[in-house]
Amino acid sequence: MNLLQMKTPVNLIKTILKQMGYVDAEQCKELASYFPNAKLIIQWGYLPREACPAQGVAQRIKEVEDSNRDYVRSVWFTADDVKYLREVFEVPQQ
């Protein structure tokens, strides 16, 4: 396994940036362990979008979905955060 394939916090961020800032469920768990206070946006099916720290995203989604109030459509970093992270990690926009 080469260095780029290893699971590291930097590689996780770079992968998310290549996905235009969108975060899947597995990445959300990893993100919460490395960067628990990273601000993510939860897009619901009907409810307004909601900002939440990475450490609380899974629990918040569970609460809303278990109560049958709504379902999650996607989770992502804000555009400003993506822009900043691209600069820091030198990941070009695709």
pLDDT digits (tens, 9 = 90+) for 56-68: 999 999 999 999 9
CA-nearest of 30, 37, 38 to 9 is 30
CA-nearest of 36, 28, 40, 35 to 89 is 35
Q: Rounded to an integer, what distance in angstroms lies between the CA atom of residue 71 and that of residue 74? A: 9
> ∠ CA 16-5-32 to the nearest 5 degrees?
40
pLDDT digits (tens, 9 = 90+) for 13-45: 999 999 999 999 999 999 999 999 999 999 999
pTM of the model: 0.88
Q: How large is the angle between the packed helices 9-18 and 25-34, nearest 10 degrees?
A: 140
